[in-house]
Amino acid sequence: MRFLDAPTRFLFFTGKGGVGKTSLACATALRLADAGRRVLLVSTDPASNVGQVFGQTIGNTITPVDSVPGLDALEIDPEQAAAAYRERIIGPVRGLLPAKEIASITEQLSGSCTTEIASFNEFTGLLADPTLSAGYDHVIFDTAPTGHTIRLLKLPGDWTGFLDDGKGDASCLGPLSGLEKQRTIYAGAVTALADPSMTSLVLVARAQPSSLAEIARTADELSTTGITPSAVVINGVLPAAAAAADSLGLAVREREQAAIADMPAGLAGVPVDIIELKPENMVGVAALRSLLGGATAVPQDDGAHELVDLPSSLDALIDEIAVDGHGLIMCMGKGGVGKTTVASAIATRLAELGHPVHLTTTDPAGHLDTTLGGDGAAKNLTMSRVDPVQAVADYRAHVMNTKGKNLDEAGRAVLAEDLMSPCTEEVAVFQQFSRLVSQARRTFVVMDTAPTGHTLLLMDAAGSYHREIARNMPAGTDYTTPMMRLQDPDYTKILLVTLPETTPVLEASVLEDDLKRAGIQPWAWVINQSLAAADTTSALFRHRAGQESGPIDAVRSRAHRLAIVPLLEQEPIGRGHFALVAS
């Protein structure tokens, strides 16, 4: 692997959700530790599963990996980091201020902006504070899906500039109150990120046009911060031998090779490594060692594979949804499991049934137009995207035109400065999300959500807003908040989308438990891209299909409703192919 020829001290793995960043980060850490290096593996993903890969609890403290001498790991838990951050701010004034003011400060520090700042503090410390990583030859970052990673990598520069300009004195007073002391560390993080002799950025993708386009966008956006990609790794490519004499295998192999041959121009000149699809899921040390071990040994077909009994088609779920005539349908889950495809299939089918439908995405890396293949202007179907950049611009313009309308020049200047806070994005995106939730009173709103960690932060914002409204409403007043609509099963139907693999199912199960604690009951599960549900003669596919029974049974034990979608010969792009997904 060329990206490991001369490994730098810091290595980042980033790319669209579900492409195998965690597997590659863990396999790289293992390879370096096996070579006698001291390695720290860090996950900055809100939905981290590094502990699941190594079969032990990791958590928010540096923990030795029992099975790998020389390897330690750390999962930066956003909620734990935020709790510690809040306590550092509130602790010194607890007992000095009235309880009502403490409650107000606590609420101000409960949003997703605080969570991101808290995680960011730990992230930058590892880059710039020598005392935290001095004992390691390499620090490897398994980063969150692309949209979050871009925000995280840009934050050191953003916060440094924000502090230099003296901003953040109103709406961000709480979250920003702990930042000033970190100015030197932030500057050191910026330096480390932009220095190719210290830091390598590895862009991870699947052999799919959308996945490759995503890392090209990542490379372009990060170039504005002075960060240049060091390598591209295309993961999970079907070996030629595994595709022979099987129509599904041949179709998958053909479209993968076409995607590789047509790589985006923005990636020209970046070294490329290709990793073949392996027979085993990447759980455990033995499987991880095989990932970077060269050519794949195709297993012998023992003939034991049988097609799984399909409990329901996606069409059956859609027909049940259609009975209500309106409502919010949210497709949620880990990145890369096919939420966009499932959401598009649902929206398209509802529109074909004659219902007005609005299809939207809250995923910073989501691209509905690509999935719909340019066919978005269907009868009864409209589309939108919650774009954080546009949301912030719209929000700033609205505030300036309302609150700033009657201010003098000096007052408008102060207001404009306050609106430059990075925390403004939290408010702006939540406002757009709230409008979409409300829109479902009159029509169907089908929402392709951001990967799990982002969505939970959005839910957290909804919960904070609900508590604030409830606290300030006079007794006996009727009101409805977005959180109350999300908790109403007659209004909101949440579909948990996953893959028939251990880790995605575990993560979706954790998401279901988190939602239930918030009073939100998921309506159905969808298992996507199942080989056990596909008709295939490929020995590699059949071997992997045999590993799906455990994850599928785990979902059956939890799901009130379940649909299983097979891996398809035709990639589901364009409205004409969504019938294959749904039926």
Distance CA 254, CA 264 (A): 18
Beta bridge partners of 330: 447, 494
> For residue 425, which phi and psi values (nearest 5 degrees)?
-60, -40
Are the beta carbons of 572 and 581 closer than 8 angstroms? Answer: yes
Sign of CA dihedral 175, 393, 187, 364: positive
Closest CA to 463 of 390, 514, 526: 514
Q: In one letter, which amino acid is 269?
A: G
Q: For residue 158, what are its two tokens?
A: 């953003």
Phi-psi region of 473 (alpha: psi -120 to 50; beta: other; left: phi over 0): beta
Q: For residue 561, what are its two tokens?
A: 């409703």
Are the beta carbons of 370 and 211 closer than 8 angstroms? Answer: no
Greatest alpha-carbon span in the chain: 79
DSSP summary character for residue 405:
T
Are the beta carbons of 147 and 363 closer than 8 angstroms? Answer: yes
Distance CA 231, CA 233 (A): 7
Which residues lie below 8 Å from residue 166, measured CB to CB, with a gap of 6+?
A: none
Residues labelled as active-site residues: 18, 20-23, 45, 503
Cα R_g (the chain), whole angstroms: 24
Q: In one letter, which amino acid is 236?
A: G
Q: Which helix (H) or strand (E) holds 142?
A: strand 138-142
Q: For residue 540, what are its two tokens?
A: 């590699």
Closest CA to 328 of 437, 456, 461, 483: 437
Are the beta carbons of 172 and 199 closer than 8 angstroms? Answer: no
Which residues lie below 8 Å from residue 184, measured CB to CB, with a gap of 6+?
A: 128
Give the alpha-carbon dihedral of 29, 30, 34, 37, to 10 degrees. 20
Are the beta carbons of 10 and 199 closer than 8 angstroms? Answer: yes
DSSP string, 435-446: HHHHHTTTSEEE
Which residues lie below 8 Å from residue 226, measured CB to CB, with a gap of 6+?
A: 193, 194
